[in-house]
A and B are shown apart, each in its own frame.
Chain A
């Protein structure tokens, strides 16, 4: 299971995180988000926690966070390094595409 983010823990878990963080912005009414969720969980279980922290943020319950990061489409996958957004992509992906997209942003 990946970490659940909210307005209380966002700063400590994302902004102040020493390792890069992937945030999956999702909502219960988004079908594509729901079909992507098991894949994101599998990815979270596989990835080295020293390399990447995988988390999810319910955009419906945390609309202030969604607004702060100008989330306009979900699922949105945003990668933060040292608290700064370095990449984002949205939509449906196969597990391989997804892994490749995330990993390509971690190297740099």
Chain B
């Protein structure tokens, strides 16, 4: 059976596209993917999404969006897309060995947390190395933790971890932080947080493979190598777009983001639209993702009228 619209991804872009497409009676099918709800599922309070003056938990916001999309008839599949064939209409999307067809596909696969990319990080993942302070911070009560990164996400994780940990060390590989001024100020005023600048994490150190005991750092200016004792390492060094499925199919920029025509969500292939962080390396906000998801649904509706 062929559908009108398939939406790949379930962050703010995907759900907003589904809400608009649903209301336009396009009966969208949403593939939630391997990280349902996307990046907001692992954040704490979202304070800058309009309409929530007291802030809202990221996971609550995503639950609301999902419910809203379902209310307007979105079909939600808790599945990951394994392969796409965009060579001819109807476009084909393979998931769980089944092929789904649609006249328009909206790609909103977002971005996923970047990892340090060292072997010891993999070895201790879930054993003291984490990419989600809101999920795992609780297990570091009265312990010492390190947060790696220099953006807003790293600052938020560090602030959140002060609820549990006795000491939080923020390690950043540059001199200056990318984080917003408000977050930098909050961190500066928090006595539990100390900062190490110009330092790169070389290795996660630990006892056998079950417990982290420290990290090895390299001063990027002097080359000096040192060790820092810690019970946990939270990695918050940004995100990379989830575009592996679309390599050699859609035009991507040099960092792997899907290229869209300015002012639209149109990709290099007619009928394939992209919304949210997967095509946005500049703003990367819940609200901009939602905005572009809305644009994609409206463009889809117009295209389908012409088909």
Using a CB–CB cutoff of 8 Å, the interface residues on chain A facing chain B are 27, 29-35, 38-39, 59-60, 66, 70-76, 88-97
Contacts and interface: CB of A to CB of B under 8 A. Distances in A.
Nearest to B231: A72
Contacts of B130: 72-73
Interface stretch (B33-41, B242-250, B278-286): B33-41
Among A27, A39, A73, A89, which residue has the most Cβ atoms of chain B within 10 A? A73
18 contacts: A30-B132, A30-B134, A31-B40, A31-B62, A31-B134, A32-B42, A32-B132, A32-B135, A35-B59, A38-B78, A66-B139, A70-B210, A72-B139, A72-B140, A73-B132, A74-B135, A94-B33, A97-B34
Contacts, number: 83
Among A91, A94, A97, which residue has the most Cβ atoms of chain B within 10 A? A94
Nearest to A95: B78
Contacts of B78: 38-39, 94-95
A90 B34 contact: no
B37 A35 contact: yes
Contacts of B32: 35
| Interface size grouping (class) on chain B | 20 to 34
A50 to B, nearest CB: 26
B35 A96 contact: no
A60 B140 CA distance: 12
Contacts of A93: 34
B37 A31 contact: yes
A35 B36 contact: yes
A70 B211 contact: yes
A37 to B, nearest CB: 11
B96 interface: yes
